[in-house]
Amino acid sequence: MLKINPARLLDDLRHLRTFGATGPGVVRLSLSSVDMDARRWLAARMNEAGLDAAIDGVGTVFGRSRNAGPALLIGSHTDTQPTGGWLDGALGVIFGLEIARALAECEKTRHYAVDVASWIDEEGTFSGFLGSRSFVGENVDEAVRGARNREGVLLGDALKHAGLIGTPRVRIDKTRHKAYLEPHIEQGGRLEAHGKSIGVVTTIVGIRELKLRFTGQRNHAGTTPMSIRRDAGAALVAFIARMDEAFRRIADADTVWTVGRIELDPGSFSVVPGAADMYLQFRDASAGRLRAMEAALAALIRDVNAEGKTRVAMTDSEPPEEPVVMDAALQAHIADAAEALAPGQWERMPSGASHDAQVIAHHVPACMLFVPSIGGVSHDFIEDTAEAHIVLGCEVAAQASVNILEGMSA
């Protein structure tokens, strides 16, 4: 078994945490001054580990092994949500760094090539998955010109302020990069609830994000009898109950749906709402189930419109994302490593969250490994994972990496 250095691993994770530390969490938004400080530190750590590392033209930190390929690429992200945890993304990047060091320190594995990446803006401060999309060759120039953060700062201006304009952008090399591994915290409570230590990801779920507008008639809340009201808000609330019932008939244990925002027009105590907007998201690992949910939603909308009191129109809030299946052979390598190091303490599971792996999987075989999140909490300052699970996760990822690299060389 490949030996990692647990103290070094944890020290690097803790030091990365200091960049943007806010209470128990971290605020490190993409291309902020603290994010760039963290990226410069990370590039230096990669160089110390014997990788040739630099920050590319969109902000991705990329450390390239000096060994010839074929290479395993390990990565995730180090930017955070506005109220971020210290391990979301960061864990996978530091795992990659530690695995690269451990391989170099072992006589039997020092010839293997592992490249390590911290992709920029996975969290979408400006444009989600910017780094991995740029890496695989997607045209991100429109985003660079037009994307803005919450404060209205243009992405291009942020890159200029960071001194990255004109810097080359790292690109995938399919003659070198034969597989991608992304270790990550689970960001949910399934592993903890099942008493498991490692998750082998089967699929990254597909997502639908929709806006439903209910249109009725604005009217006086005191003088309009209930029998003749065309209340868009009441219609929206009733629709949610009918939608829940329809979705539950279709769903399996991993299907989720969320009404994340409701807006009433005009939003006054004394006015019957004339319009109401509902922002809906649902996720599933099955493309067929997602289509069935879309069909059920369309049928409910037809029923409401046929009833006549209010009208409903549905539009995409964001383009649909299809489920992405992780490579079966790579899953098997992770499962073998997990069984060797933590027999019976692992399970296969979908990822309910999006990750850079879903972008890269369309270009090279990709896989993911999860470690438990305490209380199932992520995207919050209290996000955490037990140190024993962090170390075990890195040990499993390291052995899986050896398994994958040996398979490449066979």
Binding residue numbers for Zn(2+): 77, 88, 123, 184, 379
* Residue 183 near residue 356, CB atoms below 8 Å: no
Report the distance separating Cα 193 and Cα 15, nearest Å: 30
142 CB contacts (<8 Å, ≥6 apart)?
none
Helix pair 90-105, 387-409: axis angle to 10 deg: 60
- The residue count for the chain: 410
Q: In Å, how far are 3, 216, 230, 264, 277 from 261, measured between CA atoms?
A: 48, 19, 21, 10, 8
Instruction: Report the binding-site residues.
Output: 77, 88, 123, 184, 379
Decide: 183 and 366 in contact? Cβ < 8 Å: no
What is the distance between the alpha carbons of residues 272 and 352, in angstroms, rounded to a whole number? 38
Give me 395's structure tokens. Answer: 């040990």
Q: Which of 92, 2, 83, 6 is nearest to 42 (CA)?
A: 92
Contact call for residues 100 and 92 (beta carbons, < 8 A) = no
CA distance 281 to 304: 20
Distance CA 185, CA 351 (A): 10
Expressed in percent and rounded to 5, the helix, strand and coil fractions of the chain are 40, 25, 35
Tell which residue, 405, 408, 410, 398, has the closest CA to residue 1: 398
| C-beta of residue 401 within 8 angstroms of C-beta of residue 338 | no
Q: What residues contact residue 279 under an 8 Å CB cut-off, 6+ apart?
A: 209, 210, 211, 259, 260, 261, 262, 317
Query: Left (φ > 0), alpha (ψ -120 to 50) or beta: where does 89 sit?
Result: left
